Amino acid sequence: MKNNLRERREQAGESQGDLAVAVDVSRQSINAIERGRYDPSLELAFKLARHYDCAIEAIFDPELAD
Amino acid sequence: MKNNLRERREQAGESQGDLAVAVDVSRQSINAIERGRYDPSLELAFKLARHYDCAIEAIFDPELAD
DNA sequence: CCACTCTGTAAAGTGTGCTTTACAGTAAAG
DNA sequence: CTTTACTGTAAAGCACACTTTACAGAGTGG
């Protein structure tokens, strides 16, 4: 699943560590999600969307059904 | 995390089995999610939202931050 | 040169999302 | 009474989301 986390984070002037603290996960988790190693849990997706004040759908994209 | 899956499903006149087939998971998974035993993965949340033609936020609610 | 920040990555461990198989209870329909 | 459809639940197993600790490389600033 694609996401634009990195773009949003950089535009917000945050480091991976900053964001990790803000949504209460490890820096490695943020890094892994940005790099597409795995998808976040639904709960973390909600926290990220709330942090960037947008819809989950605005950050994550299932990129064509399966 | 709260959700209104059961209401939506019943209003759509579907059984748990119908929905399970539609979003390609087991009937037990649908049952567990409806009964709040666990939250779906982000991907499954997307499939459910697409199935009911609504936003993820319209089905799931993180019910007050932690 | 040294300290500091940021990022990438690896390994081992925990919890949980989801699976399959299986059985029990309820309700409607023959 | 028997069958059929739907739901609830349990156990065992696999995959992955996330953790902690740890190390390496690039860039910046003293």
Q: What is the CATH number of the domain that holds A33?
A: 1.10.260.40
Specify if B66 maps to a domain. no
- pTM value is 0.94
Is residue A15, in this structure, part of any structural domain at all? yes
* A62 within some domain: no
Structure tokens at A12: 């917000």
What mean pLDDT is predicted for residues B40-61? 98
Per-residue pLDDT for A43 more than 70? yes
Which residues of chain B are within 8 Å of residue A60 when distances are taken between CB atoms?
Answer: 42, 46
Look at residue A10 and tell me if it is in a domain.
yes
- Give me the residue label for tokens 């409806």: B34
Tokens of B14: 């579907």
Give the pLDDT band (50/70/90) at residue A63: confident
Q: Which of B1, B50, B65 sits opposite A42 (nearest CB)?
A: B1
* A6 contact partners, CB below 8 Å, separation of at least 6: A34
The domain of A39 spans: 5-53
Q: Report the pLDDT value the prediction gives residue B65, as an integer from 0 to 100.
A: 46
In a domain, B62, yes or no: no
Domain count, chain A: 1
Residue with CA nearest D6 C1'?
A: B15
CB B48 within 8 A of CB B23: yes
Neighbours of A57 (CB within 10 A): 15
Report yes or no on B65 lying in a domain. Answer: no
Residue B64 inside a domain? The answer is no
In a domain, B22, yes or no: yes
